[in-house]
């Protein structure tokens, strides 16, 4: 009799566990959702997500709370997200190639492709290579030809070797068989001052940063990332158009959660992000702020990051 009772109770517990998932997912969310951002308040990804949050709140009908936890190139926040309770109420920000660079160089103590589920990205901002207005170069192939004849003969400013700007330079070198002389700066503003002052030959910068500088005539763009020409820079050819297709061409930003979160909750979050991305008020506000909005599905985010990790491992030595 006792054995039968134990079996019955076990069956009831098992059935309850099976049914709990869908019930909880149906009720989700019913309290605020926090998003841990691995970069300081006012950074590009922080501004992007804060601009997007009101639209996401409309869809999910709960507050979205942004928490900034900068450090180690995003690794501090990604570790916090990975170890948080997998209930769908702690999300993280994700931006690549930053997460790919930190992973490939050994700065993240786990594999993000196994630890996280990607929920969709909301920003896609191509990078360009720019030169000063007095530069003799009119195209990227001209710069490549010069570098072939004069190895490391051109200086290139970036935020660091594993930053988007630095990786674009490495990608050019890897594809064309040349090498820029890398000069690291603490930020894009410092690199720009050096470029405008004639202290470096070129630098990497985001399209949003480049547009006003190109319009004023202070810089010229040698090429732009993307599969097609950027509508903000219609006269600038892509890298691929110039015969130099690159493995790293843009920055993209969005959301992640733990891989162990209920699949139904993950599906609900992905749908909510996709829906919120089309919200007219969000679109209008983002355009006013020159944000390069573009929804990138989760599977494409994963594929891009995986490809970038593999590439970066071939061009950047891991941390010791």
H helices of 43-151, in order, are: 44-60, 75-83, 98-104, 112-115, 140-149
The answer for residues whose C-beta is within 8 angstroms of residue 97's C-beta and 6 or more apart is 162, 164, 167, 248, 251, 308, 312
**Residue 53's pLDDT band (cuts 50, 70, 90):** very high
Domains and CATH numbers, the chain: 29-123+252-315 (3.40.190.150), 126-242 (3.40.190.10)
For residue 116, the model assigns a pLDDT of: 98
- The single residue listed with the structure tokens 């700007």 is 165
Stronger pLDDT, 14 or 313, i.e. the higher one: 313
For residue 320, the model assigns a pLDDT of: 64
Query: Could you give the 3-state DSSP secondary structure of residue 198?
Result: coil
* Partners of 181 in the β-ladder: 155
Helical axes 280-288 vs 44-60, angle rounded to 10°: 170
Helices (H) and strands (E) in the chain, counts: 12, 10
- For the whole prediction, is pTM greater than 0.85? no
Q: Give per-residue pLDDT as tens, 251-309.
A: 999 999 999 999 999 999 999 999 999 999 999 999 988 889 999 999 999 999 999 99
Q: Give per-residue pLDDT as tens, 86-97.
A: 999 999 999 999
**Residue 318's pLDDT band (cuts 50, 70, 90):** confident
């Amino acid at each position: 009799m006792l054995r039968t009772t134990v079996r019955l109770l076990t069956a009831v517990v098992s059935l309850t566990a099976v049914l709990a998932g869908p019930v909880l997912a149906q009720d989700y969310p019913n309290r605020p959702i926090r998003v841990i951002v691995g970069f300081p308040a006012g950074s590009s990804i922080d501004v992007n997500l804060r601009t997007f949050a009101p639209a996401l709140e409309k869809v999910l009908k709960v507050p979205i709370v942004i928490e900034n936890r900068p450090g180690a190139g995003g690794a501090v926040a990604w570790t916090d997200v990975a170890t948080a309770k997998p209930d769908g109420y702690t999300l993280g920000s994700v931006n690549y190639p930053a997460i790919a660079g930190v992973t490939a160089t050994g700065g993240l103590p786990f594999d993000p492709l196994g630890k996280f589920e990607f929920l969709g990205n909301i920003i896609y901002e191509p990078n360009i290579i720019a030169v000063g207005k007095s530069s003799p170069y009119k195209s990227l192939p001209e710069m490549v030809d010069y570098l072939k004849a004069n190895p490391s003969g051109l200086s290139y400013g970036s935020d660091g070797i594993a930053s988007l700007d630095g990786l674009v330079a490495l990608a050019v070198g890897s594809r064309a068989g040349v090498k820029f002389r890398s000069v690291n700066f603490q930020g894009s503003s410092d690199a720009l001052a050096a470029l405008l002052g004639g202290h470096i030959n070129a630098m990497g910068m985001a399209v949003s940063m480049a547009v006003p500088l190109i319009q004023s005539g202070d810089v010229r763009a040698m090429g732009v990332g993307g599969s097609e020409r950027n509508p903000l820079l219609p006269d600038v050819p892509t890298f691929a158009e110039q015969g130099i297709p690159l493995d790293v061409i843009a920055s993209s930003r969005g959301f992640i959660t733990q891989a162990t979160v209920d699949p139904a909750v993950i599906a609900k979050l992905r749908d909510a992000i996709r829906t919120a991305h089309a919200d007219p008020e969000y679109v209008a506000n983002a355009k006013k702020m020159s944000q390069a909005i573009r929804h990138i599905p989760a599977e494409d985010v994963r594929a891009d990051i995986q490809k970038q990790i593999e590439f970066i491992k071939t061009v950047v030595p891991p941390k010791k």
